[in-house]
Amino acid sequence: MNKRELTQFFMRNKRMVLILCIIFVLGIIAGTLCVKTLTDNQKTDLINYLSDFFKVLGDNQDLNKTQMFLQLLIDNAKIFALVFILGLFSIGIFLTPSLLLFKGFILGFTIGFILDELYLMGFLFSLFVIFPQNILYIIGLIYSALISTMMSRQIYISKKRYKISVRPKKNLQQTIYYFSSLLIGFAITAFGCAIEAYIIPVFMIFFSNKLF
């Protein structure tokens, strides 16, 4: 998929792009609101966990960044593998957006909790430690969710129109094109992994000395 094809694809499916973005934002809002439901004990436990994490980080400043990068790649590859598999079935129309909603919830909860507990320093922490790589993660995930959802929709329409079980495996060219399109999203995510592994630890160590 070249740049022109990519642009045309987004223009043809701009309504679906908007829907997926709204779903992700709703997840963020839900995660942020969920912070308000935490009890004082739960907040204390989370703060203690963060404190212990940053103390360990501060004591181990010589991190193996390459190993961290590879682990991040593996973790995100699992997510993209799930997105890929969901796209091969018509039920992916519902499950892929649900995955996007869940990822938004996790991000919203994380940022909401940090802002709620750490105030200005929490804002700076979010700005320098959470936002940089997550912007790329979000772009890559929404793009991949779009590709996966459209693939599921195509399979659903084919089943309904022809009244038969249509399996993408029987159309190798279509499946390869679908997989290669998803790789674009994973490439964007891989760049975010590089930022998180090689750049973000510098800021994390800085904040570990300021916050805890």
Element (H, E) at 161: helix 131-162
Residue 1: per-residue pLDDT: 58
What are the strands, taking DSSP E only, across 48-169? none
Distance from C-alpha of 208 to C-alpha of 212, rounded to nearest angstrom: 6
Q: How far apart are CA 150 and CA 25, in angstroms?
A: 20
What pLDDT, in 10s, does the model give residues 192-203? 999 999 998 888
* Numbers of helices and strands, H then E, in the chain: 8, 0
Please tell me the pTM assigned to this model: 0.86
State percent of the chain over pLDDT 90.
42
pLDDT reported for residue 100? 94
Whether 145 shows a pLDDT value over 80: the answer reads yes
Of 79, 96, 100, the closest CA to residue 87 belongs to 96
∠ CA 53-58-62, rounded to 5°: 115
pLDDT band for position 168 (50/70/90)?
very low
The whole-angstrom separation of Cα 23 and Cα 9 is: 20
pLDDT classification of 174: cutoffs 50, 70, 90: confident
